[in-house]
Structure formats: C-alpha cells, structure tokens
Amino acid sequence: MIKVGIIGGAGYTAGELIRLLLNHPEAEIVFINSSSNAGNKITDVHEGLYGETDLVFTDQLPLDEIDVLFFCTAHGDTKKFLDSHNVPEELRIIDLSMDYRIASPEHDFIYGLPELNRRATCKAKHVANPGCFATCIQLGLLPLAKHLMLNEDVMVNAITGSTGAGVKPGATSHFSWRNNNMSVYKAFEHQHVPEIKQSLRQLQNSFDSEIDFIPYRGDFPRGIFATIVVKTKVALEEIIRMYQEYYAKDSFTHIVDKNIDLKQVVNTNKCLIHLEKHGDKLLIISCIDNLLKGASGQAVHNMNLMFNLEETVGLRLKPSAF
C-alpha cells in the first residue's frame, strides 16, 4: 500500500483528493494536516464523506511514515514549507499549488501533465500538478504544437465553475452574485498562461505567439469549458488524425466527433475534445472537471505513474451526466 500524507486538508481539492484516495485500492491515508482544524473529524469539513472515514485532522507531520506527500496549499505555501522543514530524501511530493510549475535550475519538480511528460513523471520524485485552466487549454493544443502548427496568436475563451475560486467565500463566489450571472476576470493576464506557453514550447521550440486568453466565471459549481481558435489550412480529417494519434495511449483524453458538453466530464478525470473547421479557422472545444482532471484526479494519476501502477487505478469515475 502507498502511504499518503496530505497538507492543507480543508479545501475543495483536498476534499476530492481524500475521496479518491479513500476509494483507491493501493493507497492508505496516514494523516491529513490542517492546523486550523486539528482534532476535528474530516467529515466536519467534508460532509460528503459521511460514512466513508473516521479520520481526523492533525497538526502533526509524521513524514517518516509516508511514501508520498500531497500539498493542497495556497500558492506560495509549498515553497515556504519545503524551505523550513527537513523532508525525507526519498519522500515523493505532488504539489497542487503553482509554486514549482515553471522549470528552474532551483528545483527538480517535473511538470505533471501526463499527456506531455508521462515518462518523466514515472521517474520523478517531485511533481508539480498543472493548473486547471492550463490543463484544459494545453490538452486542446498539444497535438498542434507537436506538428509545429502554432504560428499565430491563439484565441482562447474558457469558463470555470465557482469551485475554481477556492473554498474561502468571496464577493464573486457568493451565491446571490454568481447565480444567473457571468463575468470576465484576469483577461490576457491569467496566471496559468506561462505554464501553457512553457508546454507548447517543449513541443514546438519556435512558438513565440500570444495566448489571448479570456477567462469567465460561470454560474455552476464545477467544470471548465474552453473554446480555442487557431488558423490553419490543414484539412479537418488530417487534424483529427493528428489528435487521435497523439492521445492514442492516453486513458483520459478522448477525441469526440459530436459536439460535447460539460456534464460529460464533471466528476471524472476525463478531458473531451471536439474539433471543427470553419474556413481556415480550426475550432477546438475542450472540457474537464476543474477539481478532478484539473487538480486532484490528475494528482492521483501522477501518483499512479510515480508508483508504477496502471494509470486508471482509482480513477474510473462516472460523470454526473444528468
């Protein structure tokens, strides 16, 4: 059994991670650290887990008793923790914050997008889990980058559910504001754009165009639905072949010939992609569950790869669908 520790156990991504690991046949949760909730039952916070666990939050850190440590922490906190604690040399780490997503000589974290870095992740000791928007958008673009087809600016519009803002209440996550509403935020300046560009350049070294990304807040709890427009004269049939070939060995990313919708992926670790040509414009529609494929599901996928398990273990999940 893989012995697991979790730091930052009170948020949405932690709740989903706990749910997945409780049902994972090869994993056992040893501790869930949350100093503000120490001594409280997990179900006091994650009420959807009633009847599934008697675990309690702890402020202790028995790092020598675990094989892998997940960080479900606020951005910046993982780096602070690693800088201030003695972490066992062989302990594997999966960080769901954005602290180590950008490659640097100062750290050895692998960017954990399995559809891009599967082989490196299998050998990694430290993995930086991608951002949710970044995951959805990259999966829509990677096959084009592989074929050196991204030579102009890329237009992206994507809408995310309210859980993307985190569990802490705020003005734009308040039900009375969010319900029956929609708004743009961080236009052209979203924090996930640098990691998207990094991945595209990994496949297409010449890529120096802009990602013109307009994020939207949606009036639903979870999911990301992205539309991407790229100019190309390549025939749709050839593009579909490129995508099918690129994702042929991936268990969670699927090319769908019919139009897709969000409910087909919510509560799963899947990414669905639909492709259309309109003149010389290629429309790419990509959708994921922001808490699973965009966070905790992908983190468990990375854990499976790091411990040489079949990648779908613990992740065969039914979509909400209706």
Residue numbers annotated as active site: 132
Beta carbons of 184 and 159 less than 8 angstroms apart: no
Residue 159 is encoded by which pair of tokens?
């809408």
Cβ-based neighbours of 6, under 8 Å, separated by 6 or more: 14, 17, 18, 29, 31, 32, 33, 69, 70, 72
Task: Give alpha helix (H) positions in 148-189.
Answer: 175-178
Residue 267 is encoded by which pair of tokens?
């509560």
Residue 321 is encoded by which pair of tokens?
């669908």
For 197, the 3-state DSSP assignment is helix
Q: What distance in Å separates the CA atoms of residue 309 and residue 114, rounded to the nearest whole number?
A: 13
Q: How far apart are the first and last CA of the chain?
A: 35
Q: What distance in Å separates the CA atoms of residue 159 and residue 183, rounded to the nearest whole number?
A: 9
Alpha-carbon separation of residue 228 from 58, 89, 191, 201, 255 (angstroms): 43, 42, 18, 18, 15
For the chain, the C-alpha Rg in angstroms (whole number) is 19
